[in-house]
Amino acid sequence: MLVALCLGLNAAAGLDLDRLFASLQALGGVESNFRDWQRMMAGAQEMPDVTDKLRRVNEFFNRRIQFADDMEVWGQSDYWATPMETLAKGKGDCEDFTIAKYFTLLNVGIPNDQLRLVYVKARIGGPNSAIVQAHMVLAYYPAPNAEPVVLDNLITDIRPASRRPDLTPVFSFNSQGIWQGAGGMDPQGAGGIGRLSRWQDLLRRARQEGFD
């Protein structure tokens, strides 16, 4: 039954589960985490209601992944981890949560143009707090001109943007129209242009892991 499920998922979302699993194992990840993620996605995919899908994915990552600094997890100040890296480590910061949710939602049938990764200023510690920090959340737009809902790891339930006065959006993007290097060639190789941007780099690594 699991096999049939996997095959169905694979066909629907264009995922290469074998490769994803191999990537996770190479990163030292635990198999049960991967199987849970897989099962969660299969469940989410079957759900007719978008809100249920969003909640399922949001909860999965907010529960499974422990918040930690990049410096602690990766030994560098700002590292954007791929979903498999985050899943393997079981730890991540706000970008890692957002990225993992973004890729997972794409694969349970949420269209790309309804999803945005959003740089936000987050005020921490109550409405009158003066502490502000850079943060990233995932926004879902039910319609192009509608108010989005916010998937966040600080406040774990999904709320409409208007109910998140602590967040001030600055800039949003997704993988649409992102130029991913000429013909997907190795950016360090001959004729390449050297470094890709952080986002391009992440998209490339995710592709290598098995997100097609």
Partner 1 sequence: MSMYRQLWLAIITSTLLALLGSLLASTLSARSYLSEQLSMKNADNAAALALSLSQKAPDAVEVELVVSALFDSGHYELIRVTDPFGKVMVERRAAPNNNGVPGWFSRALPIVAESGQAQISSGWKQIGTIELVSHSRFAYRALWSSVLEMIGALAVAGLIGGYLGSLVLSRLRKPLTSVIDQAKAITERRFVTIDEPRVPELHQLAAAMNGAVVRLKTMFDDEAARLEMVRREVNCDPLTGLANRNNFLAQLRADLADDESLGGALILIRVADLTGVNHRLGREATDDFLKRVGAAIAAVVVDIPDSLGARLNGADYALLLPRSKEPRQVAEALLATLIREGESFIDEGPTAFVGFGHYPRGLDASTVLAQVDAALAAAESQGDNAIHEARFVADEETPTSGDEWARLIRRALDQHWVRLISFPVTDLAGRLIHRECPLRLMLDEHGDWLPAGRFLPMAERLKLTPQIDLTAVSLGLEQLAADSTIPGLAINLSASSIQDQDFRRQLLEQLHRQPTAASRLWLEVAETGAFHHFDAFRNIVGALKGTGCRLGIEHFGRHFSQIGLIHDLGLDYIKVDASFIRGLDEEGGNRNFLQGLSIIAHGIGLTVIAEGVATSTELAALSDVGFDGATGPAIKDAD
Please give the residue ranges that form the binding site for partner 1 (CB under 8 A): 116, 118, 139, 141, 144-145, 147-148, 161-162, 168-174, 176-179, 181-182, 190-193, 197
Q: Which residue, 32 or 145, is less far from partner 1 as judged by CB?
A: 145
* φ, ψ for residue 4, nearest 5 deg: -60, -40
Smallest separation, CB 207 to partner 1 (Å): 16
Q: Which residue, 124 or 185, is less far from partner 1 as judged by CB?
A: 185
Cβ atoms of 135 and 118 within 8 Å: the answer is no
Smallest separation, CB 30 to partner 1 (Å): 37
Smallest separation, CB 130 to partner 1 (Å): 21
Smallest separation, CB 185 to partner 1 (Å): 9
Beta strand 91-92 with 167-173 is: unpaired
Q: Which residue, 45 or 180, is less far from partner 1 as judged by CB?
A: 180
Cβ atoms of 141 and 124 within 8 Å: the answer is no
Residues 6 or more apart whose CB falls under 8 angstroms from that of 100 comprise 61, 65, 83, 86, 87, 92
CA dihedral 47, 53, 57, 58 (to 10 degrees): -150
Q: Which residue, 14 or 142, is less far from partner 1 as judged by CB?
A: 142
Smallest separation, CB 199 to partner 1 (Å): 9
Residues 6 or more apart whose CB falls under 8 angstroms from that of 121 comprise 132, 133, 134, 135, 167, 168, 170
Smallest separation, CB 200 to partner 1 (Å): 8
Partners of residue 117 on adjacent β-strands? 138, 173
Q: Which residue, 23 or 174, is less far from partner 1 as judged by CB?
A: 174
**What three-state secondary structure class fits 10?**
helix
Q: Which residue, 25 or 172, is less far from partner 1 as judged by CB?
A: 172
Q: Using CA atoms, how far apart are residues 30 and 156, in angstroms rounded to an integer?
A: 24
